[in-house]
A and B are shown apart, each in its own frame.
Chain A
Amino acid sequence: MTSFSKRSTQRRPSRTADILLCLYVAGETSRSVSALANLKKICREHLGNRYRIKVIDLLKNPKLARDHQILALPTLVRQLPPPVRKIIGDLSDTERVLVGLDIKSAK
């Protein structure tokens, strides 16, 4: 769990990230770990350096579940650019993640 808090804000080299992704999890479960790993891999391969990942642990911040209308876990929310998109699950299906994020490959 502590490892999450340390890297709760994942930042790529670029400071002008135009894609903001929030990953909601509840503690460090195997599912949340693999979701984060899958997400990082997809971002690295498809998004270049235009993105920023934020991990939000609802066990530490339970209020955010209500405030951000989170229901299922893990949930990935594309905060930027609008509109907000939500993807749930362990993000194992790369194609669907890309479709869900409505982001074209950066390649």
Chain B
Amino acid sequence: MVTKKATPRKAVRRAIPGPKTRRLLPKALTGIQGLDEVTGGGLPKGRPTLVCGSAGCGKTMLAMEFLVRGAQESGEPGVFMSFEETADDLIQNVASMGFDLVSLTAHKMLVIDHVRVVRSEIEETGAFDLEALFIRLALAIDSIGAKRVVLDTLEALFGGFSNTTILRAELRRLFDWLKQRGVTAIITAERGAGTLTRQGLEEYISDCVILLDHRVDNQLSSRRLRIVKYRGTLHGTDEYPFLIREDGISVFPITSLTLDHRASGEVVSSGVPTLDKLLGAGGFYRSSTILVSGSAGTGKSSIAGHLVAESGLRGDGCLYIALEESQSEIVRNMKSIGLDLASLIAKDKLRFHVSRPTAYGLEMHLASIHKFIVDYRPRVVVVDSITALLAMGSVAEVTSMVVRLVDYLKANGITLVMTALVDTSAASEVSGVNVSSLVDTWLKLTNAGKGGVRTRTVSIIKARGMAHSNQTHELVMSSNGVVIRQLEATRQES
């Protein structure tokens, strides 16, 4: 790329800006689940980052976790300068997340300095500067050799001083000073009307700006995070849902800025030998995504049940996310087609995660599914059905959640089976949630009545990477399970 031999590497890096220097932008890991992935490795090291959002959206939590994780995981001491909450309040507020600030302070990994700003106590007579703030900050940084600094919320200063001209000049000086000190800093700010921050701080901090949002739709609350700007680096640009949980902040997705999943060549049986034959390769690829769509009573769950039973027999753990039926209903119904799920549950080859879609918001669902997967480490996950998720959000939101789930499972080599209920009156090939383009295999089931007989059929709309059958076949359910055979009409032709 560049004449490496002639010039020492360092000189080349400095001299030629380009993709190479961009990749070299040093970053500081936040240690916050998911945030390091969407920022491509953390916040800009040695520079200030602006975190803005309205009241109660989690700014202080994010900033504090950045310091706590920095101390615990990266060994970098931090200074938390609070302009609003007192040290005691902060200690109490984050104790619920398992952060022991008292112990961190005792181990010289954290300094909390509460700066009191009370307008009524301050009379201004003539020119001033904020040198004392600098002195305080420098003292705190030097006392523990801090590498990270949080200023929360700096805009409180605007409530304390009336001369904003001086204040702005001093803030600009402060951000320059922080850069010179080489500390990785988070500056929090309140969201303004029509602007990112009430006081326009985004004009001064231009390296990295993160926006937090907390909104309530249909009585379900959701928090979102967006990287508005991250100079000189690639980053995710979406709004990512995030949660404040008992163990800190989790930003989703866990992965998936890129499509670099390793494709598996391993084929696993669907559990229905006749279906394996139709698929061409003898089943599904491992870690692929399978969509089974159809109207009510077409056998979607039965197909999924076969795959579950098959994977259990193979020794692969399976997680069944049931959004419409209870565990005992599913076990009973599968028994009627000869599938013994109860013994798989007894052997811990199958676990159920049953929840009503309306029980919590979408993000909470994603989080609980993620937690289940991390705890259980299944090889197969069934979501029955993704249509039920629509009770929780708009089509776009559900689609985005499913995309994240698909990405996450693929990256972890887990096979995913989703069922989708299709409204028979609607256009027949459209699944309610628009995920058909990202699934690898799509089975479409119908249940058509003709001449006094209802016939279940199955067609393979697509099966990526497999020479699959293009014919519609009949799906027959018996007490011995699902069997697929040629339709009578086709049988007669041949």
Interface residues of A, Cβ cutoff 8 Å to B: 24, 26, 31, 35, 58-59, 62-63, 65-66, 69-75, 84-93, 96-97, 99-100
Contacts and interface: CB of A to CB of B under 8 A. Distances in A.
Nearest to B157: A71
Contact of B128 (A63, A65, A88, A100): A88
Contacts of B121: 84-86
A91 B135 CA distance: 22
Contact of B139 (A24, A63, A91, A100): A63
Interface residues of B, number: 25
A65 B125 contact: no
B135 A31 contact: no
> Which of A72, A84, A85, A91 counts the most chain B CB atoms within 10 A?
A72
B129 interface: yes
B20 interface: no
A68 B307 CA distance: 69
A72 B129 CA distance: 5
B427 interface: no
A12 B410 CA distance: 80
Contact of B135 (A26, A87, A96): A26
21 contacts: A26-B132, A31-B128, A31-B129, A59-B135, A62-B138, A62-B139, A71-B130, A72-B128, A72-B131, A72-B132, A73-B128, A73-B129, A73-B130, A74-B128, A84-B121, A88-B122, A88-B124, A88-B161, A89-B127, A90-B125, A91-B126
Contacts of B123: 85-88, 96-97, 99-100
A96 B127 CA distance: 13
Contact of A69 (B116, B126, B127, B135): B116
A58 B161 contact: no
Interface of B: 113, 115-117, 121-133, 135-136, 138-140, 157, 160-161
A106 to B, nearest CB: 19
A66 B126 contact: no
Contact of A92 (B125, B139, B157): B125
A65 B132 contact: yes
Contacts of B157: 71
A89 B162 CA distance: 12
A68 to B, nearest CB: 9
Given A62-B135, A62-B138, A92 B126 contact: yes
List the 8 closest pairs (A to B, CB-CB), nearest first: A100-B123, A89-B126, A92-B126, A90-B126, A89-B125, A93-B125, A70-B132, A96-B125
